[in-house]
Amino acid sequence: MHSPLLVRLCATAALPLALALPLSLPAFAQERPQPLVVPPGPAEVAPFDPARPTPLQGPRQPVAPGRLPDGNIEVGQLREIDPSVVGLLDDRTGGLGTSMWGGTPRPRVEMLLPRLPMGTFSPAMQDLSRRLLLTTTAVPAGQAIAPSLLGLRVERLMAGGRIAEVNELLRVAAVPVSDPALSRANVDAMLLAGDFGGACAKVPALMQADPSPYWLKTLAFCRALERDAAAVTLATTLLRDQGQVGDEPFFALIAALPAAGGAPAVTSLVDPTPLHLAMLRAANQAVPADAVKGAQPAILRAIATAPKGNATVVPLEAIDAAERAEAAGALDTATLAEIYLAVTYADAQIEQALDLAAREQGPRVNALLHQAAQVWNEPSRRAAALQAAWKAARAEGMLGTAARVNLATLRKVTPAPELLGFAPDAMHAALAAGDLELAWSWLDLAVRQASTITPQGANTQAIALAAQLWPLLQLADPDSARQRSSSRNANWWQELPRSPEGAEADKRAYLYTLFAALGEPLPPAAWEPLLLGGPLARTALAPSAALSNALADAAGNMRMGETVLLTLMMLGDVGPEGADALAVTEAIRALRAIGLDKEARAIAVEAALGHGI
């Protein structure tokens, strides 16, 4: 039985202030906003106001039984089914199979699925995670320990910022589901979308069914929007009595809400939640700088696409969040480009972009370089701007984002002999952006120049570049490499420097390991210089023995869903770029064992790029 205090808090009330608040916080734009036109002349930042999305929708109700149109045959009652079977992908659209959980006990899936990493910057992992969570498949056998497998999937999709897919997944669910995870996803999506009235209408009933601290905090927020100071005091007192005192940003913001702006601003918010963001908007407070770096993709996208109201300056945190949301797959690249273009500069600032990039780093410099690369038509200057952008991105582990957002500009640069020094960076960026044809065009430039003999002799720079770059594209696109040169395809390792040292030796060993994991081992002669002249041990953060054993067993017994899940856990949030070589090779071998060769190769390429190969 609930206490009278909770009954008092949960009493329904009109929400005029919540419904009238102009401070909406859209999260995931369903439609791409129109490109922004950069106004001429010196200015700070142009307003950026993307389209408002639709909040999360609940599962639809099943069709009631009745009669067919001829009135003669009665339609029977729908049989009870597990709604967790629903999905958006099948064998034709990238699904992992209707029996992907075959052989895996349900308790194991339900215990491991919440640990699926959703914050990785790896496109290959993002694709596998999406397919794992959206495949239409039979539920695994065994006793359920979670309210529903659907709820676990929705929670992970929400963490990854995939609200549109969550909406569609719940739309096709055949029956309603009673699951706290779905209830929280629903309310969180409304808070992120700025639908405070809709969220607050649901909270009292949810609070009475489950008086958890989360619902109590959300209910306190709703009562604060109504200017019900007594109810807010009651809620915060209950929270403190329950020992919920660690969330200092919540208590600071709830104190600011009855009279917005009347309390000190929150200056630190390391792990923001949808409720935190809603409270910040309602209290007219800016997102703290430290809220971006560790935020989940869903939060990043919400911060990036929040409307700016009457403000004339896009906060640095919004640009930073947009970059990270794009890297995590929660924001499309075109929207990031539009945000970059919303930052305007005087002609003199653009002219000095390279000088500024040499002294400073950060989202505003990235936006400046993006614009400079677009407006500088001279090939060498455009190439220099792109190189500066990619260099800064590499330092942050976000080469892929810088490559994708600048891909259209790179395509305007024609490979030419005078740009030979630009070829390695251009090829790496094209690969990171997924444009193999463009990557080959830059390697082909090096190969052509390597075979050219001038009065001054052989082009030693081109010869070295061709030898250096060929293995990476052969790793990414072996069929094209074989067609271009079967001889180089078989003997590329012989063209590399004989005895590399230090970091170069480590890169060489890593590259050889990736080829071996893909079933293309090199002969002992390739390894000999590394064995005789290199270190025999190295320090690394290796995966646990339990995880390695479980992955090998799942892959060896062709348990598709479990293998993909454990592979993603093996690589973790750091992805192929940051994972240990052992973790990467085990992941590649496991994916190949279950027939996902293309996906295994994509992970190998990301690992190679991340390690500077």
Long-range contacts of 253-257 (CB under 8 A, 24+ apart): 253/279, 253/280, 253/283, 253/285, 254/217, 254/220, 254/221, 254/224, 254/279, 256/283, 256/285, 257/221, 257/224, 257/225, 257/232, 257/282, 257/283
Domain of 279, in residue numbers: 1-31+178-337
In a domain, 545, yes or no: no
Give the pLDDT score at 10: 64
Q: Give residue for tokens 């994509």.
A: 602
Q: How many domains does the chain have?
A: 1
Give the pLDDT score at 16: 39
Name which of 40, 114, 33 is nearest 322 in CA terms: 33
- The pLDDT averaged over each successive group of 10 residues in the chain (613 residues) is 56 40 34 29 35 43 37 44 85 94 96 95 96 95 90 94 88 75 89 90 87 90 90 89 84 78 78 92 87 91 77 78 95 95 89 92 94 95 97 92 98 96 97 97 95 78 93 95 91 87 87 95 90 71 89 97 97 92 95 97 96 89
In Å, how far from its chain's centre is CA 408?
A: 21
In a domain, 319, yes or no: yes
Helix (H) or strand (E) holding 469: helix 460-476
In a domain, 243, yes or no: yes
Write the single-letter amino acid at 507: K
The angle that helices 545-556 and 560-571 make with each other, rounded to 10 degrees, is 150
By the 10 Å C-beta count (0-12 exposed, 13-18 middle, 19+ buried), 415 is classed as: buried
Give the pLDDT score at 218: 94
Alpha carbon distances (Å) from 125 to 128, 130, 323, 577: 5, 8, 18, 11
Give the pLDDT score at 414: 97
Give the pLDDT score at 6: 56
Helix ranges, 263-296 (H): 274-282
In a domain, 188, yes or no: yes
In a domain, 476, yes or no: no
> What CA–CA distance (Å, rounded) separates 302 from 159?
12
In a domain, 322, yes or no: yes
In a domain, 16, yes or no: yes
Task: Please state the φ and ψ torsions of residue 159, each to the nearest 5 degrees.
Answer: -60, -35
- Asked if 222 and 15 count as a contact pair (C-beta separation under 8 A), the reply is yes
In a domain, 310, yes or no: yes
Query: DSSP string covering 289-329, please?
Result: GGGTTT--HHHHHHHHH---TT-SS--HHHHHHHHHHHHTT
Alpha carbon distances (Å) from 238 to 69, 197, 208, 212: 57, 23, 14, 11
The two tokens of residue 432 are 């990171």
